[in-house]
Amino acid sequence: MSWVIRVPATTANLGAGFDSIGVALNLYLTLEAELSEEWEFIPLSDGMDDLPSDKTNLIYQIAFQVANQFGYNEVPACRVKMTSDIPLARGLGSSATAIVAGIELANVLLKLTLTTEQKLEIATAVEGHPDNVAPSLLGGCVIGHYDNELNWIHVPIHDLIFLAIIPSFELKTTEARSVLPATFSYKESVQASSVANVSVAAICQGNWELLGEMMEKDRFHQPYRKALIPHYDALTELVKEDVYGVFLSGAGPTMIALANEEIINQKLEQWKNAYPAFQWLTLQVENNGVTVNEI
C-alpha cells in the first residue's frame, strides 16, 4: 500500500501577526510513502541531501510522537520518497510542512482517523504557535491564538501575489528569535496589538493597501530582525512604491512583497536585475491545505 501526502509551504506573521497569522503558498513538500521492511527517507529534490534518511528524520519523529500519544509504540515502517520545492530555513515554513506530513503519515498508517481539530492541536503543540502549521493543514490564511488550546479563523485569499525575495543564506528561527526583546511595556504592547488588530480586519476585508501600511508599523519583530537581513531597507525602498506592502516572511530571511499581477508583469525583470543574488519567486495563495491520497 502507498500514499501521497502533499503539504503546502507557508508564510507567517504578515507584519504584526506575530506567531498568530499565516498563509499557505503554492510550494509543496510531497511524500510518497509505501510500506516496507524498515524506515527509509529518500530525498529526490536539490537541497534535501542533508536531511536524515533514517529514524532521526523530523517526519518520522513526529509520526512516532503521534503514535505514542495514541497508545502505539511504533509506526509501521515505510520507504518515503521526498520531493520539495520549498527553500529550507528561509522563513517559508519548511519545518512546519515536515510536522504536518508526520502527523498525516501516522494518521494513515495507524488508521487514527484524526479530526482537523486534533491535527491542528497536535501540530500547534509541537511548533508552539499555529502560524505555519495551521495554514499548511487548512490552506488559505489562518489567524490563530494558542495557550494550550487553539482558537482559529480560516480566511481564503484570492487574487493576490506573494512575491518572495529569497536571500541565498539560511537563518535559523532560534537565531531570529534571539534578537527579540524579552519584555515589552504595557503602552508599547497596546500600540503593537492595535496594529495587529487592524491587520486582521484588513485581511478579512481584502484591503491590501491597509494591510501593507500596517506591515510597516509592526513593532513585534521586524524592527529587531531586519538587521539580520542585508539589503532589507534597500529592497523595501526598491519595491515599496509599486506594491501593497513588504514584510519579513516568518522568522526570515525571505522578504515578501504583496502585489497584483499587473505590477509583477511590469516590474519583476527590473527588480531581479537590480538584486540578482536574490531568488525572486512569484507565489500564489494555496487555499486548500494538505492532501493525502492512497494510490
Residue among 132 and 287 whose Cβ is closer to ligand HSE: 132
Q: Does 218 bind ligand HSE (CB under 6 A)?
A: no
Residue for grid cell 538584486: 275
Per-residue CA distances from 144 to 17, 200, 209, 245 (Å): 9, 11, 22, 22
How many residues lie near ligand HSE (CB under 6 A)? 13
Which of positions 234-253 make contact with ligand HSE (CB under 6 A)?
Answer: 250-251
Spatial separation of the C-alpha atoms in residues 223 and 206, rounded to whole Å: 25
DSSP at 273 = H
With the CA atoms of 216, 221, 227 and 228 taken in that order, what torsion angle do they form, in degrees rounded to the nearest 10?
-120
State the minimum distance, in angstroms, from the CB of residue 79 to ligand HSE: 30
State the minimum distance, in angstroms, from the CB of residue 249 to ligand HSE: 9
Q: Are 259 and 243 in contact (CB under 8 A)?
A: yes
Which of positions 71-130 make contact with ligand HSE (CB under 6 A)?
Answer: 129
Which of positions 132-151 make contact with ligand HSE (CB under 6 A)?
Answer: 132
Count of residues making up the chain: 295
Q: Does 13 bind ligand HSE (CB under 6 A)?
A: yes
Spatial separation of the C-alpha atoms in residues 260 and 163, rounded to whole Å: 9
Among the listed residues 29, 101, 130, 131, the single contact to ligand HSE using CB under 6 A: 131
Residue among 43 and 252 whose Cβ is closer to ligand HSE: 252
Task: Locate 178 and state its grid cell.
Answer: 534571539
Among the listed residues 5, 12, 160, 259, the single contact to ligand HSE using CB under 6 A: 12
Q: Does 219 bind ligand HSE (CB under 6 A)?
A: no
- Measured from the Cβ of residue 50, the count of other Cβ atoms closer than 10 Å reads 7
DSSP states along 46-87: TT-TTS-SSTTSHHHHHHHHHHHHTT-S----EEEEEEE-SP
State the minimum distance, in angstroms, from the CB of residue 287 to ligand HSE: 21
State the minimum distance, in angstroms, from the CB of residue 251 to ligand HSE: 4
3-state secondary structure of 258: strand
State the minimum distance, in angstroms, from the CB of residue 29 to ligand HSE: 16
* Contacts for 115 with CB less than 8 Å, ≥ 6 apart: none
Per-residue CA distances from 59 to 82, 93, 173, 295 (Å): 10, 14, 18, 20
3-state secondary structure 108-121: HHCCCCCCHHHHHH
The neighbouring-strand residues paired with 161 are 259, 284
Among the listed residues 2, 26, 61, 173, the single contact to ligand HSE using CB under 6 A: 173
Q: Does 19 bind ligand HSE (CB under 6 A)?
A: yes
- Window contacting ligand HSE (CB under 6 A); options: 59-67, 147-155, 169-177, 258-266: 169-177
Residue among 13 and 30 whose Cβ is closer to ligand HSE: 13
Residue among 18 and 232 whose Cβ is closer to ligand HSE: 18
Residue among 215 and 251 whose Cβ is closer to ligand HSE: 251
Residue among 18 and 64 whose Cβ is closer to ligand HSE: 18
Q: Which residues bind ligand HSE (CB under 6 A)?
A: 12-13, 18-19, 129, 131-132, 173, 176-177, 221, 250-251
